[in-house]
Amino acid sequence: MNETAAAGTDLEMNVTENAHLVNDTVTSFTWSNLEVIVQDRNTRAPLSILSNATGNVCAGEMLAILGPSGSGKTTLLNALAHRAAAANATTTGSILVNGHTASLQEIRELSAYVEQEDALIGSLTVRETVVFAARLSLPHTISRREAFRRVDALIAAFGLQAQAHTIIGTPIKKGLSGGQKKRLGVASRLVTSPRIIFLDEPTSGLDAALSLEVCTYIKDITRKNNLITIASIHQPSSATFQQFDKLYLLSGGLTCYFGRVGEATAYFSTMGYPIPAETNSADFFIDLVNTDLDKNGEIRRRTSHICQAWKSSANSRELDTAIQKTVEGTSSPSDIKILRSTSWRTPIILVHRSWIKSYRDVMAYGIRIAMYLGLAILMGTVFLRLKTEQAYIQPVINAIFFGGAFMSFMAVAYVPAFLEDLNTFRQERANGLVTPLSFMIANFVIGLPFLFIMSLLFSIITYWMSNFRPSASAFFTWVLWLFLDLVAAESLVVLVSSIFSVFVVALATTAFANGLWMCVNGFLVPMDILNPFWKYVFHYIDYQAYVFQGMMVNEFGRRSYSCDEISKGQYQCSYPSDLNSIGKIRGVDVLRQFSIKPGEEGTWFGIIVGIIAGYRLLAYIVLVLRK
Ligand SMILES: Nc1ncnc2c1ncn2[C@@H]1O[C@H](COP(=O)(O)OP(=O)(O)OP(=O)(O)O)[C@@H](O)[C@H]1O
């Protein structure tokens, strides 16, 4: 049995299980005279990208927003969902639920928005994905038993039982098919029992058969549970198009048609645009108003005629009358209470989810651990068995610099994993599931054990191979500095990637910042000769500087080095020291050359913690401001 055919059977089996989905409160969703104005990219003048949009969808109906590319489908969908319709857009007009004006918060509570690019976490299984969606969205008053019942019923309703324990798929491990991923994306948004579902191009990237499969599932769920579904859709096949009840046809932000799918053909036929036999009606409607295909101005004139005709059509007048008559329902949006999870639990749930991701997804931490181990072997073998002789002082200093600076530089490898998490966060935040604070807390907490393991593994290899000061306390002090170094470097990645969430920009900026910290940390140019600009503007806020100083004191604070003996009892010492006469150099004399004063480790520790907190706080502020 193919999957599409299975859809019906699955739904028949599970409709009663999905009682929580049933919408018995929202009877109508209407909007009138919606207008979206943006600042034109080129001229900077106000530009209307959606005008006079009016329509209504009743419980149990599915609306398709159709139109050529750039016609305003996403703009309309976002405006209806009370999302930012476009960058710096101003939206006017009214949106009503049961005849009552609905606020942003109310629409958010009542609806679920499924993005075109799903932010599913590839290393989770189907069931885990829905379970985490349930844990993030459902209040603790709903028992675990009930939550699991909902999860399993939803998985069954979307025909995913056989894949319940299959991972979604990562770049190196294949999981679900494109259609199954789309179905899972919708299923995981339905655990909150939304009354209205917004879908941004749910069939994008799917072939005709998979598109039909996805739309069949959505239609059955909509119909059986009396939901309201609004989807923007791109070039549907005839069969997919027929799954929808209503059509909103747009061109250049203007309405070309709104009404029943089944009546659209007759409407255009009466206007003088009959559909040729054996033509896909959706393709026909899009081509009719696709001004991109215009060669001689004919399609532009035709589109303008169709939009004008719509305004004065009987269908449009009937729609206006229907909207005016929309009876104010007994329940207003503010009366319809949808239960949400309590936010203090969110960070714990996110940490749990990230934990599963991090140990299962080799891309998340595994590759970085392997890279650091490779680096450790490289460093350990290059700086092999360094001796306490003056010829080795400079290599020891170089090894300390390399250990701290290069390790933090390589934190750039965290950029892709963080951007992936940020993408998931953005979608979950837009659906009201996660706040910037819970995301930041979870991200920080989950990173700590891994960074500690990385610091420890790196140190176990290099510290003893390179022959740093051989004592347990010196070893663990080194591990501590390295750990702080990595936590600060990762916090910098979080800040930079939150500001510039484009991969290449985030990567280049983090690499630049780390290069800068390397230059001014006091190794390449000692602090007393570093020019004042770099010293006073950057050196003191450079976490690498404190790590370098801390590691230097750890190594040189309690060691001495032998000078070269040029003849019996005659020594040539490259660092002045009170022990030169007996052929020794105190480690602290080496520190003096770098203006490093032992005894200030506590202050340096505190400053690094402050820098980490500063990076995290700034990243949090960026996320709060970037809605
Ligand atoms: N700041 C702006 N300046 C000029 N035009 C803009 C601006 N913002 C959006 N637009 C235009 O508004 C139109 C509507 O965009 P929208 O993304 O809603 O279209 P769409 O129908 O969803 O397209 P697609 O099918 O390609 O995703 C597009 O033509 C877009 O170029």
Q: Each residue of 118-161: pLDDT tens digit?
A: 778 888 999 999 999 999 888 877 888 888 988 998 999 888 99
User: How far apart are the C-alpha atoms of 79 and 293, rounded to whole Å?
Assistant: 27
Confidence of residue 527 (pLDDT cuts 50, 70, 90): confident
Q: Which pLDDT score, from 0 to 100, does residue 341 have?
A: 60
Considering the domain architecture, whether residues 260 and 378 belong to the same structural domain is answered as no
Higher pLDDT, 296 or 602: 602
**pLDDT of amino acid 339:** 58
* Whether residues 66 and 194 fall in one domain: yes
The encoded tokens of residue 344 equal: 């203090």
Instruction: Say what the pLDDT of residue 6 is.
Output: 44
What is the Å distance from ligand 1's center to 470 Cα?
65
Question: Cα of 339 to ligand 1 centre, how many Å?
Answer: 35
Q: What percent of the chain has pLDDT over 70?
A: 94
Give me the amino acid identity at 520: V
Which residue's CA is minimally distant from atom 9 of ligand 1?
Answer: 86
Q: State the average pLDDT over residues 202-228.
A: 90
Distances (CA, A) of 156 to 123, 325, 353, 366: 21, 39, 22, 34
Q: Is the pLDDT of residue 619 over 90?
A: yes
Q: What band does 42 get if pLDDT is binned at 50, 70 and 90?
A: confident
Ligand 1, closest atom to CA 67?
21
**What per-residue confidence (pLDDT) applies to 7?**
43
For 548-579, what is each residue's pLDDT tens digit?
Answer: 999 999 999 999 999 999 998 899 999 999 99
The alpha carbon of 118 and the centre of ligand 1 are apart by a number of angstroms equal to 20
pLDDT of residue 322: 85
Q: 278 and 382: one domain?
A: no
DSSP for residue 362: I
CA of 84 to the centre of ligand 1 (A): 13
Task: Identify whether residues 101 and 165 lie together within a single domain.
Answer: yes
The residue whose C-alpha atom lies closest to atom 12 belonging to ligand 1 is 49
575 within domain boundaries = no
Structure tokens at 450: 């891994």
- pLDDT bracket for residue 198 (50, 70, 90): very high
Pocket test for ligand 1, best of 34, 48, 49 (most atoms within 8 A of CB): 49
ipTM: 0.96
DSSP E strand stretches across 226-383: 228-232, 246-251, 254-260
Q: Which atom of ligand 1 is nearest to the CA of 38?
A: 1
347 and 444 share one domain: yes
Q: Is the predicted pLDDT of residue 605 greater than 80, yes or no?
A: yes
Among 40, 71, 115, 292, which residue has the most ligand 1 atoms within 8 Å of its CB, making it the best to mutate? 71
Q: Which residues make Cβ contacts (< 8 Å) with residue 145, sequence separation at least 6? A: none
The residue out of 269, 297, 312 marking a domain boundary is 312
Q: Give the Å distance between the CA of 37 and the centre of ligand 1.
A: 11
Mean pLDDT, rounded, of the chain: 89
Q: Assign 67 to helix, strand or coil.
A: coil
Of 295, 312, 329, the last residue of a domain is 312
Query: In sequence order, what are the residues at sequence separation of 6 or more whose Cβ sits closer than 8 angstroms to the Cβ of residue 540?
Result: none
Whether residue 418 sits in one domain with residue 356: yes
Please give the Cα distance from 120 to 184 (Å, whole number). 9
264 and 409 housed in the same domain: no
Q: How many CA atoms lie within 13 A of 111 on its CB side?
A: 30
**Closest ligand 1 atom to 75 CA:** 18
| Best residue among 73, 76, 303 to mutate for probing ligand 1, ranked by most atoms within 8 Å of CB | 73
**Pocket residues: Cβ below 6 A from ligand 1:** 38-41, 47, 49, 67, 69-75, 86, 234
pLDDT at 611: 98
How does residue 278 score in pLDDT terms, banded at 50, 70 and 90? confident
For atom 30 of ligand 1, the residue with the nearest CA is 70
Query: What is the per-residue pLDDT for 548?
Result: 97
Domain that holds residue 394: 343-511+543-558+597-625
Please answer whether residues 50 and 62 qualify as being in contact, where contact means their C-beta atoms are separated by less than 8 angstroms: no
pLDDT tier, 243 (very low <50, low <70, confident <90, very high otherwise): very high
CB 543 within 8 A of CB 608: yes
Name the helix (H) or strand (E) containing 114: strand 111-114
Q: What is the pLDDT of residues 428-471, one digit of tens each?
A: 888 878 999 999 999 999 999 999 999 999 999 999 999 999 99
Asked whether the CA dihedral 319, 323, 325, 327 is positive or negative, the reply is positive
Expressed in angstroms and rounded, the spacing between residue 234 Cα and the centre of ligand 1 is 14
How far away, in angstroms, is 435 Cα from ligand 1 center?
29
pLDDT of residue 296: 80
Band of pLDDT at residue 626, cut at 50, 70 and 90: confident
Residues 387 and 303 in one domain: no
Q: Which of 50, 74, 83 to mutate to test the pocket of ligand 1 (most atoms within 8 A of CB)?
A: 74
Give the nearest ligand 1 atom to 76 CA: 18
Q: Ligand 1, atom 10: nearest CA belongs to which residue?
A: 49
Cα angle for residues 572, 573, 577 (degrees, 5° grid) = 135
Please tell me whether residues 303 and 366 are part of one structural domain.
no
Q: Are residues 359 and 491 in the same domain?
A: yes
CA of 75 to the centre of ligand 1 (A): 7
**296, 357: one domain:** no
In a domain, 321, yes or no: no
Is the pTM higher than 0.90? no
Compute the distance between CA of residue 51 and CA of residue 54 in angstroms, rounded to an integer.
9
Q: How far is CA 191 from CA 6, 21, 131, in A?
A: 22, 8, 9
Taking CA atoms, 74 is separated from 38, 79, 151, in Å, by 14, 8, 29
How many angstroms is it from 314 CA to the middle of ligand 1?
Answer: 29
Residue 590 included in any domain: no
Helix (H, G, I), strand (E, B) or coil at 471: coil
* Mean pLDDT of all residues in 592-620: 96
Q: Is residue 536 part of a domain?
A: no
For residue 564, being part of any structural domain is answered with no
Counted domains in the chain = 2
Residue nearest atom 3 of ligand 1, based on CA coordinates: 40
Angle at 470 between CA 466 and CA 473, to 5 degrees: 120
Cα 596 from Cα 560, distance rounded (Å):
16
**How many Å lie between the centroid of ligand 1 and the Cα of residue 282?**
20
Instruction: Determine the atom of ligand 1 nearest the C-alpha atom of 71.
Output: 21
Residue nearest to atom 20 of ligand 1 (CA): 70
Residue 377 pLDDT > 60: yes
Spell out a b/e string for 556-591, using b for 16 or more CB atoms within 10 Å of the CB, else e.
Answer: bbebbbbbeeeeeeebebbbebebbeebbbbbbbbb
pLDDT bracket for residue 3 (50, 70, 90) = very low
In a domain, 294, yes or no: yes
Shortest-distance atom of ligand 1 to CA 88: 1
Least-confidence region, from 8-12, 22-26, 365-369, 494-498: 8-12
Question: How many angstroms separate the CA atoms of 281 and 249, rounded?
Answer: 12
Name the residue of 50, 75, 251 to mutate for ligand 1: max ligand atoms within 8 A of Cβ.
Answer: 75
280 plus 374 within the same structural domain:
no
Q: What is the CATH number of the domain that holds 216?
A: 3.40.50.300
Question: What pLDDT shows up at residue 515?
Answer: 94
In a domain, 618, yes or no: yes
In DSSP terms, which residues pair with 571 in a beta bridge? 565
To which residue do tokens 């896909």 refer? Answer: 280
Ligand 1 mean position, distance from CA 35 (Å): 14
Say if CB 138 and CB 147 are below 8 A apart: yes
Q: At residue 417, what are phi and psi to the nearest 5 degrees?
A: -65, -40
In a domain, 614, yes or no: yes
Q: Of 312, 330, 360, which residue constitutes the final position of a domain?
A: 312
